[in-house]
Structure 1
Amino acid sequence: MASNWNLITGTGTDVGKTYYASALAETRRRVGQRVGVYKPVASGCEPDETGRPVASDAVLLWNAAGKPLTLQSVCPQTFVAALAPPQAAAAEGRRVDEDQLISGLDAWIDFDEVLIEGAGGLFSPISDSMLNLDFAIRLQRRYPVKITLVAADRLGVQHDVIACVRAAQASGLAIDEVILNTINPDSSTPTNAAELAKWLSIPIRRWTRSDSG
């Protein structure tokens, strides 16, 4: 079984989860690790030449990890509509397969490290009866998963991070680290990490895409 499992979730959509996860996968691969990458479900996908919807996030992860297994192994459930996964599935007369959200990871258990990217923010719906939070809790019952919370390092991030961390803790999920992604810096960016450290007792790191080399 993989020795390291890392679920990369976010305070919301478009905070840089995929870029961070891809950079992490590439870094691990460069030092000789076999890295598995997994995104349990994705919406807003474009059909490929066969008509199967393909998630652009999954393509980035797959390429960063050196194209292990197949693209379908990276993201087994894909839907076209740019909606939350359960809504996107319903638009196609389908439902997100909740069992497959977890069982899809079986393909990756022999890798050195497995990086899992959630779909949307930590409290976004991932299926008809599960939030990403619920997925994370179920995941931790099966694997020793580290939880990384990615947030955009801009004005308002203190609220977003503290709210997510405290709500997760109240639900029984501990966040192990926070990544502040400097995607659109503003006047708050230089001080957000230090201010958050006054309220949280977990590691908080600033990161930008240039850090991936």
Structure 2
Amino acid sequence: MTAAPAPVLVTGTGTDVGKTIATAALAALARSVGLDVGICKPMQTGLAPGEPGDADEAARLSRVQRVLEVRRLPDPLAPETASRVAGVPQSTLDDLLGPIRRWLDANRDPASVDTAYQAAAPAEKAHSAGAAAATEAGRLDLIEGAGGVLVRLGTDLTVLDLARSLDAPVIVVARAGLGTLSDTELTIRAIEAAGLRCAGIVIGSWPYDPDLAERCNVEDLPRLTGVPVLGRVPAGAGQLDPAEFTRHAAQWFAPGALDAVVRPRAAHLP
């Protein structure tokens, strides 16, 4: 039996870099080649109960049906701080891993192919990045972190700790402009120092008319980090309606982008 693909953790070089919209774009890209896609947000802060969260927004734009939010805290703060301010227990690794693993193990079907993909024209399928190799994996589970890789989800529990426990490769969402080279290289060094694989970089908000620094950064990021730039999500993409968003998402990524992301793991998690 082929091992299920590992989930992919989407992190950022900081806050407000476009992680949620980049997660939606990756989900839409994966759906365009027939993968069964799920979106998970382990920690959501800054929203009251019942308000749509980041996972809901990414799922709305990408038309993904499998969605999980594990824990929500009301104040717009880092999760550890938000727990402390709210006077509630800090999250532990087991608190987050249990629900995520149950979600990952539910409805595992390597042969699952999106019905929208089945109905697509052959030329449309051929245009999709990484179609052949990625479709063999059957599914893609995206886990959106909170802020950067060292954000604490609980006391002594970082986003990197969660990724390591899930055996998850990491995608880094980065800014386009001046300063992103240092931010991104530091983030990727932290990922690699933790023994994790950085699958690629996605520019979270690519301007319509990029300036000199932004154009140079697209070339310099892979040279300095050793990690490919998988895609550039246009600024304002989150304002598109879901039909437009899903129709254009594949155009925002390099050919073969999914092949760098979707790789079966050697064995199931214990």
Partner of 2:227: 202
Could you tell me which amino acid in structure 2 is paired with residue 88 of structure 1?
A
Cα shift readout 1:131-170 (whole Å, capped 9, x = no counterpart): 1122212221xxxx22111101110000001111123222
Verify the 8 A CA contact 2:202 2:233 in the aligned structure 1.
Answer: no
Instruction: Give TM-score scaled by structure 1 length.
Output: 0.83
Give the SS at the match of 1:208: strand
2:155 is aligned with 1:128: yes
Task: Measure how far apart 1:90 and its partner are.
Answer: 2.0
Q: CA deviation at 1:43?
A: 0.5
Contact 1:154/1:182 (<8 A) preserved: no
2:189 partner amino acid: R
1:101 match: 96
Deviation per CA, 1:148-193: give whole Å up to 9, x if none: 1110111000000111112322232332211123345543110102
One-letter code of the match for 1:93? G
Are residues 175 and 93 of structure 1, via their aligned partners in 2, closer, same or farther at CA, if it must alter by over 3 Å? same
Q: CA deviation at 1:22?
A: 0.8
**Match of 1:7?**
9
Q: Which whole-Å CA distance do the structure 2 matches of 1:44 and 1:190 have between them?
A: 34
Structure 2 counterpart of 1:176: 199
1:61 aligns with 2:88: no
**Structure 2: how far apart are the matches of 1:196 and 1:149?**
11
CA RMSD of superposed structures (Å): 2.2
Partner-residue secondary structure (3-state), 1:199: helix
Match of 1:147 among 160, 163, 170: 170
Q: Report the alpha carbon displacement of residue 116 of structure 1 after superposing the two structures with TM.
A: 0.7
User: What residue number does 2:81 align with?
Assistant: 87
CA distance 1:27–1:178, change in 2 (3 Å): closer
In 2: Cα distance, 1:64 partner to 1:189 partner: 26
Task: Between the two structures, name the one with larger relative contact order (CA 8 Å, sep ≥ 6).
Answer: 2
| Structure 2 residues not aligned, in runs of 5+ | 109-138, 238-247, 252-270
Per-residue deviation, 1:3: 2.7
How many residues are paired up?
201
Q: Read off the aligned partner of 2:203 and give its amino acid letter.
A: L
Greater radius of gyration (CA): 2
What SS is found at the alignment partner of 1:14?
coil
1:136 aligned partner, one-letter code: A
Cα deviation code 1:73-113 (max 9, x no counterpart): x1120010011111112222212432121122221333522
Normalized against structure 2, the TM-score is what?
Answer: 0.67
Which one-letter code corresponds to 2:216 in the other structure? T
* Pair 100,68 (structure 1): closer, same or farther in 2 beyond 3 Å: farther
Q: Would the alpha carbon gap of residues 4 and 207 (structure 1) be closer, same or farther in structure 2, given more than 3 Å must change?
A: same
- After TM superposition, the structure 1 = structure 2 runs for residues 43-58 of structure 1, keeping only pairs within 5 Å, are 43-48=45-50, 54=51, 56-58=53-55
- Work out whether residues 40 and 144 of structure 2, in 8 Å CA contact, stay in contact via their aligned partners in 1: yes
CA distance in 2, matches of 1:64, 1:35: 13
Shift of 1:11: 0.7
Distance in 2 separating the partners of 1:101 and 1:58: 15
> For each residue in 1:2-21, what CA deviation from the matched residue of structure 2 results, as whole angstroms up to 9, or x when unmatched?
43521111111111111011
Report the alpha carbon displacement of residue 117 of structure 1 after superposing the two structures with TM. 0.5
Q: Is the 8 A contact 2:221 2:227 kept in 1?
A: no
Retained in 1: the 8 A contact 2:44–2:53?
Answer: no
